[in-house]
Amino acid sequence: MRCLLCRVGADRSVGGGSWNSPVDSKSHEFAYVAIPETGTVRAGMEKPYSALAPVLSKFGVILPWHLSPYNMHLDPDFDYLSYGDQGERAKQLRTKLSQGDRIVFYSGMKRGLLSLAICKPMIRKTAREGDLIFGFAANSLHPDNRLIYAAYVTKKLSGGDYYKSSRYIRRPDCIYRLSGTHFVWKKKSKYHGPESVKHDLGDHPNYPRANVLLSRDFRYFGIEGTAQYKSRFPRVRRAVERLGQGSRVRHNEELRRELNNMADWLWQNANRKIMGQPTSAPSRQICLRGGSCGVV
């Protein structure tokens, strides 16, 4: 008996939808999300991405904005247990498999990750694993300073390791790569530009700002964020409204306690990691420095 491995499903490539479907590492449950359909679909045969909303909500994620208007390309079609292909795969199906052989489908998935990789270099430098970070909207984005996300730092990468690792290479904020001993901006990246290397990473050769904070324990609200926290946590409200450009990392004990209470309140009332879409679509013209900078 022969077996053929076939990678299927949405992934971080452009043709794959630039997204990974969710998986629960504890229960081993997952949601299969197909790649986008680029051809014409017969009337009545459409399989819109929007149909996945109830399934994705069980994993605490929502469908990204750029996939919502499209249909899925269901090949394989697990409802009818059928699979066909063209090109090299078609040749392998025709020449290498026969009745009784097996096709094993596998897909790249993600458990839910928030990253702070560009902008806010002082936070990325001083924060440690276990620290709690809040992202509030800047006045230029939303004058009410609504909450965009809250996250516990579960991993910190330094020395540019985030940009060197194949594990993160397809994330939208992994915008630099090594060229010899220098980090350079990757062409067609969605954020910043070649002129941002020094601000984001620091000077060659040490790149002291090349620190990245990662979180798998977070609540991301995006466009669904509100300023409701202000009425419940007055010390937080005053602190946020007084903040100018930059970041304050030292707080008095009363404010620190209220921030921790606010995190407890958020986790109790938000049962999903991702509650809303980003406040704006990725764009080099909309710099992350004007927002809250976290990327999911």
3-state DSSP of 117-133: CCCCHHHHHHCCCCCEE
Q: Are 159 and 99 in the same domain?
A: no
Tell me the three state secondary structure of residue 271: coil
pLDDT at 114: 92
Q: Are 247 and 149 in the same domain?
A: yes
Most confident of 2-11, 212-221, 284-293: 212-221
| Residue 47 is assigned to a structural domain of this protein | yes
Give the Cβ contact number of residue 247 at 10 Å.
Answer: 14
Higher per-residue confidence, 29 vs 158: 158
Best CA proximity match to 152, nearest among 235, 264, 292: 264
Task: Give residue 152's identity as a one-letter amino acid code.
Answer: Y
Answer with the one of 86, 111, 136 that is the final residue of a domain: 111
Q: Are 152 and 64 in the same domain?
A: no
- Residue in the block written with tokens 């306690």: 257
| Residue 212 is assigned to a structural domain of this protein | yes
User: Residue 216: is its pLDDT beyond 90?
Assistant: no
Tokens representing 176 are 């630099």
Best CA proximity match to 177, nearest among 185, 187, 168, 165: 185
Q: Are 119 and 249 in the same domain?
A: yes
User: Residue 289: is its pLDDT beyond 50?
Assistant: no
User: Residue 245: is its pLDDT beyond 70?
Assistant: no
Cβ atoms of 193 and 113 within 8 Å: the answer is: no
Higher per-residue confidence, 285 vs 163: 163
Cβ atoms of 219 and 149 within 8 Å: the answer is: yes
| Residue 160 is assigned to a structural domain of this protein | yes
pLDDT at 284: 66
| Residue 219 is assigned to a structural domain of this protein | yes
Mean pLDDT (whole number) for 206-229? 94
- Whole-model pTM: value is 0.71
pLDDT at 227: 95
Q: Are 193 and 100 in the same domain?
A: no
Share of the chain above pLDDT 70, in %: 91
Q: Are 71 and 164 in the same domain?
A: no
Q: How many domains does the chain have?
A: 2
**CA 210 and chain centroid, separation:** 19
| Residue 296 is assigned to a structural domain of this protein | no
Average pLDDT, whole number, for the chain?
87
Q: Are 92 and 2 in the same domain?
A: yes
Mean pLDDT (whole number) for 146-152? 95
Is beta strand 212-215 parallel, antiparallel or unpaired with respect to 182-185?
unpaired
pLDDT at 28: 82
Mean pLDDT (whole number) for 209-218? 94
Task: Give residue 243's identity as a one-letter amino acid code.
Answer: L
User: Residue 280: is its pLDDT beyond 90?
Assistant: no
Answer with the one of 51, 85, 111 that is the final residue of a domain: 111
User: Residue 201: is its pLDDT beyond 90?
Assistant: yes
| Residue 119 is assigned to a structural domain of this protein | yes
Cβ atoms of 155 and 214 within 8 Å: the answer is: yes
Q: Are 79 and 120 in the same domain?
A: no
Answer with the one of 111, 144, 169 that is the final residue of a domain: 111
| Residue 101 is assigned to a structural domain of this protein | yes
pLDDT at 277: 80
Per-residue pLDDT tens over the stretch 38-63: 889 899 889 999 999 888 877 777 78
Cβ atoms of 21 and 30 within 8 Å: the answer is: yes
| Residue 295 is assigned to a structural domain of this protein | no
Q: Are 226 and 198 in the same domain?
A: yes
Residue 47 CA: distances (Å) to CA of 52, 144, 234 = 9, 39, 47
Tokens representing 174 are 């992994």
Cβ atoms of 293 and 116 within 8 Å: the answer is: yes
Best CA proximity match to 47, nearest among 87, 89, 77: 77
Alpha-carbon gap, residue 9 to 76, rounded angstroms: 9
Alpha-carbon gap, residue 296 to 288, rounded angstroms: 13
pLDDT grade for 246, boundaries at 50, 70 and 90 = low
Q: Are 186 and 76 in the same domain?
A: no
**Who contacts 4 (Cβ-Cβ below 8 Å, separation ≥6)?**
92, 93, 96, 97, 101, 102, 103, 104
Mean pLDDT (whole number) for 143-159? 95
Find residue 115's DSSP bridge partners.
214, 295
Tell me the three state secondary structure of residue 274: strand
pLDDT grade for 250, boundaries at 50, 70 and 90 = low
User: Residue 285: is its pLDDT beyond 80?
Assistant: no
Range of the domain at 195: 114-290
Q: Are 118 and 101 in the same domain?
A: no
- Residue in the block written with tokens 């509030």: 136
Q: Are 73 and 161 in the same domain?
A: no
